[in-house]
């Protein structure tokens, strides 16, 4: 397995929230029959489509750790056919301003390339030109006659941005859906590393669905698995001009370990200690808002789960040019691996001792 190829393939694959099949298939192929099958003890998928990759623990009474990274991406959905053009709405929080002039793929009876257009600027009133284009003024042009469109497309068909992942300098990669396919890649890499290691905890890595619609996949998978502790892997804002250093983190400077109400203090401490012991550079983010990552779903599962959150810095979030550093991904997987080595029954017992 080559991480760079996996990242690029995952980024390009279609998989809006609730319709993750194609992106999920890449992971299924890797773990059901492929190379990854030897890294885990058991492969399964639950009723909402979460992929569950289980690796047994090697100690007595192995505590169960659930890792979560989401595979769904934000996207669009067909709402109406209008004289051969398509009208659409969003799945997940898309910045409407980035849509104009984007190439898309409409996943109808077959994949159809489309273009997002609007009334040309010449025909707009001067006030209109100064404003961002609204979703309701955008249309998708398939370049096909109305009849053909009607036979190939249905209301409710998913739409993704048509974008191949692009390698930039310094191991940076830009593309769509890096949120949170970058996390999925780190998860996969962690399982690969664990093959060589003797760990006490049972590791259940869950590639979750429907995170962008309200952490739905993590919510049901964490209920079903009822782990002793959980760790979510997601992305956080990367540095760019105009953002302060406490709200945006440097690309290439390592994983961001998060603290805040959703994070158990012992897990936060142990993540930092694991990073320091293994010479992994890391950054720290204090996050006060509760929802928005799988960590929230994990924390609130059943009678409560001690949870941690590690994020990969990512620039231009929720656009079609989300940019991450491959180095951060591998360092994140290294951090996860080292953290897992620290977990045993005694550690887990301690999580309830406040």
Cis peptide before 180 (omega within 30 of 0): yes
Query: Is 211 marked active-site?
Result: yes
Closest distance of CB 17 from other proteins, Å: 6
Whether residue 311 contacts residue 258, with contact meaning beta carbons closer than 8 Å, is answered with yes
Closest distance of CB 3 from other proteins, Å: 30
Residue choice 11, 200, 221, 330 for contact with other proteins (CB under 8 A): 221
Q: Which helix (H) or strand (E) holds 265?
A: helix 265-277
329 versus 335: smaller Cβ distance to other proteins: 335
Closest distance of CB 1 from other proteins, Å: 28
197 versus 269: smaller Cβ distance to other proteins: 269
245 binds other proteins (CB under 8 A): yes
Closest distance of CB 78 from other proteins, Å: 7
Give the burial string for 164-193 (b: 16+ CB within 10 Å, else e). ebeeeeebbbbbbbbbbbbbbbbbbbbbbb
CA 216/CA 67 separation, integer angstroms: 15
Closest distance of CB 196 from other proteins, Å: 31
**Per-residue mark of binding to other proteins, 147-176 (x: CB under 8 A):** -------xxx--------------------
78 binds other proteins (CB under 8 A): yes
Whether residue 87 contacts residue 76, with contact meaning beta carbons closer than 8 Å, is answered with no
Beta carbons within 8 Å of 275's beta carbon, 6+ residues apart:
254, 255, 257, 281, 282, 335, 338
236 binds other proteins (CB under 8 A): no
91 binds other proteins (CB under 8 A): yes
Whether residue 232 contacts residue 92, with contact meaning beta carbons closer than 8 Å, is answered with no
**Structure-derived torsion over alpha carbons of residues 109, 114, 116, 117, reported in degrees to the nearest 10:** -120
Closest distance of CB 69 from other proteins, Å: 18
149 versus 182: smaller Cβ distance to other proteins: 149
Residue choice 162, 192, 264, 315 for contact with other proteins (CB under 8 A): 264
175 versus 308: smaller Cβ distance to other proteins: 308
CA 84/CA 322 separation, integer angstroms: 31
For β-strands 172-175 and 322-325, DSSP reports them as: antiparallel
Query: 99, 214, 212, 97: which is closest to 159 by C-alpha?
Result: 99
Instruction: Count the residues of the shown chain that bind other proteins, applying the rule CB under 8 A.
Output: 56
Residues 273-302 within binding reach of other proteins (CB under 8 A)? 284-288, 290-291, 299-300, 302
For β-strands 172-175 and 202-208, DSSP reports them as: unpaired
Q: Which of 211, 285, 322, 331 is catalytic?
A: 211
**Per-residue mark of binding to other proteins, 104-143 (x: CB under 8 A):** --------------------------------x-------
CB atoms within 10 A of CB 32: 15
The footprint of other proteins (CB under 8 A) covers 17-19, 21, 46-48, 50, 77-81, 87, 89, 91, 136, 154-156, 210, 213, 216-217, 219-221, 223-224, 244-247, 259-261, 264, 268, 284-288, 290-291, 299-300, 302-306, 351-354
Return the active site residues: 211
């Amino acid at each position: 397995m080559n991480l760079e190829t996996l990242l690029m393939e995952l980024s390009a694959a279609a998989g809006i929230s609730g319709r993750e099949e194609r992106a999920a298939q890449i992971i299924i192929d890797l773990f059901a029959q492929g190379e990854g099958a030897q890294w885990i003890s058991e492969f399964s998928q639950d009723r909402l489509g979460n992929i569950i990759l289980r690796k047994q623990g090697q100690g007595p009474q192995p505590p169960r750790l659930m890792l979560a990274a989401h595979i769904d991406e934000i996207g669009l959905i067909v709402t109406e056919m209008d004289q051969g053009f398509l009208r659409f709405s969003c799945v997940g929080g898309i910045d409407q301003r980035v849509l104009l002039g984007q190439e898309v793929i409409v996943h109808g009876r077959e994949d159809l390339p489309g273009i997002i257009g609007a009334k040309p600027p010449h025909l707009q009133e001067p006030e209109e030109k100064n404003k961002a284009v609204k979703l309701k003024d955008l249309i998708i042009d398939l370049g096909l006659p109305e009849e053909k469109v009607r036979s190939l497309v249905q209301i409710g068909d998913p739409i993704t941005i048509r974008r191949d992942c692009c390698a930039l300098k310094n191991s940076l990669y830009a593309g769509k859906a890096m949120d949170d396919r970058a996390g999925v890649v780190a998860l996969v890499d962690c399982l690969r590393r664990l093959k060589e290691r003797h760990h006490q905890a049972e590791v259940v890595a869950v590639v979750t669905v429907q995170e962008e619609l309200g952490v739905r996949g993590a919510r049901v998978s964490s209920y079903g698995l009822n782990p002793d502790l959980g760790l979510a892997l997601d992305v956080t804002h990367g540095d760019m001009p105009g953002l302060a250093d406490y709200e945006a983190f440097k690309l290439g400077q390592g994983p961001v370990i998060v603290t805040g109400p959703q994070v158990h203090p012992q897990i936060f401490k142990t993540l930092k200690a694991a990073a320091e012991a293994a010479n992994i550079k890391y950054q720290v983010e204090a996050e006060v808002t509760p929802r928005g990552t799988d960590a929230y779903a994990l924390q609130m599962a059943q009678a409560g789960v001690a949870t941690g959150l590690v994020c990969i810095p990512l620039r231009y979030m929720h656009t079609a040019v989300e940019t991450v550093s491959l180095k951060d991904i591998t360092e994140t997987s290294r951090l996860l691996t080292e953290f897992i080595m620290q977990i045993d029954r005694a550690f887990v017992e301690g999580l309830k001792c406040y």
